[in-house]
Structure 1
Amino acid sequence: MTEIHPDQRVAVLTDSQNLYHSSQSTYSRKINYTALLEEAVRDRALVRALAYVIRADSPDEGSFFEALRDIGFETRIKDIKTFADGSKKADWDVGMSLDAITLASHVDAVVLCTGDGDFARLCSHLRHEGVRVEVMAFGNAAAEELIEAADEFIDLAEDEETYLL
């Protein structure tokens, strides 16, 4: 696959829920999205940075969404769904996948910031289309099939002081 070079066009797709749960369960800390985006781009030409978030009516979420936009992310916001039995569901797997496939013809590399193994098939598809795929996640919370499907895996746990607040 293509190596990283300054003329590369890159898209960064961030599964904020996945990163949040990974960082909270292991470190009880929040993600440093500025550092995450800087590492994902690495002196390349950023085409799009998308952060997929869930609106759950928590007190600080509005300021969090605004902070993501200030950093340079476009936010994709989905409301959490509550079912009759009280269970809740909200994920962006299909939306992220569709955006990645749509962007594939406009970029040389896609960086997926998630540890969700459901994206392994997406990685394979993008690579088949000639797009370099990089995954950024905490290694202890990343699915092995996702790591194996990517051209490069960046383990956020190896530099937790950079990627955690």
Structure 2
Amino acid sequence: MTDIHPGQRVAVLADAQNLYHSAQSLYSRNVDYSSLLEKAVQDRTLVRAISYVIRADSPEEETFFEALQDIGFETKIKDIKTFGDGSKKADWDVGMSLDAVTLADHVDVVVLCTGDGDFARLCSHLRHEGVRVEVMAFESSTAEELVEATDTFLDLGGREDTFLL
């Protein structure tokens, strides 16, 4: 696999729920998405930056969605589903995976910002297709199989000053 170089075209896919819950449970802080995007792209060419978010009707979330857009993320929003038994569910695993596979023909690198082990198979597929896969997440809450499936893993927790607000 190739190393990082300036000519690479990059897609950044951020699982906002996963990052939010990890940052909150580990540090009681929020993710600095501006720093996240800057480090994900480095000196390469950004093709697309997509943040996958869940609308749960909390007062500050629209402000957060707008802030993501101001930083340069396209936001994909899914409403949380509440079931008859009161349980709630919303995740973007399939949507993120489909976007990554679709973008693979147009980029050299896919940067996944998530610690969700469900994406390990996606990483293997993308790498088989010749796409470099980089993962940025909090190592202590990242599935081992995801770390093993990537070309590069960056632990956001190792650089709290950079990646946390």
Output aligned runs, 1:38-117, within 5 Å.
38-117=38-117
Aligned-residue offset at 1:22: 0.2
Taking structure 2 as the reference length, what is the TM-score of the superposition? Answer: 1.00
Aligned-residue offset at 1:4: 0.7
Look up the equivalent residue of 1:75 and give its one-letter code.
Answer: T
Aligned-residue offset at 1:164: 0.4
Stretches of structure 2 lacking an aligned partner (at least 5 in a row) = none
Taking structure 1 as the reference length, what is the TM-score of the superposition? Answer: 1.00
Q: Residue 13 of structure 2 aligns to a residue in which SS?
A: strand
The corresponding residue for 1:18 is 18
The corresponding residue for 2:143 is 143
4+ residue stretches of structure 1 with deviation over 4 A?
A: none
| Pairing 1:158–2:158 present | yes
Whole-Å Cα distance in 2 between the matches of residues 94 and 74 of structure 1? 17
Identity across matched positions, percent? 77
Look up the equivalent residue of 1:76 and give its one-letter code.
Answer: K
Whole-Å Cα distance in 2 between the matches of residues 2 and 69 of structure 1? 30
Whole-Å Cα distance in 2 between the matches of residues 41 and 29 of structure 1? 23
Aligned-residue offset at 1:2: 1.1
The corresponding residue for 1:27 is 27
Look up the equivalent residue of 1:57 and give its one-letter code.
Answer: D
Stretches of structure 1 lacking an aligned partner (at least 5 in a row) = none
Aligned-residue offset at 1:80: 0.1
Q: Residue 14 of structure 2 aligns to a residue in which SS?
A: strand
Q: CA RMSD in A?
A: 0.3
Whole-Å Cα distance in 2 between the matches of residues 26 and 7 of structure 1? 35
Whole-Å Cα distance in 2 between the matches of residues 58 and 22 of structure 1? 18
Deviations 1:39-67 (A, max 9, x none): 00011000000000000000000000000
Paired residues in the alignment total: 165
Q: Residue 62 of structure 1 aligns to a residue in which SS?
A: helix
Q: Residue 107 of structure 1 aligns to a residue in which SS?
A: coil
Aligned-residue offset at 1:161: 1.0
Q: Residue 22 of structure 1 aligns to a residue in which SS?
A: helix
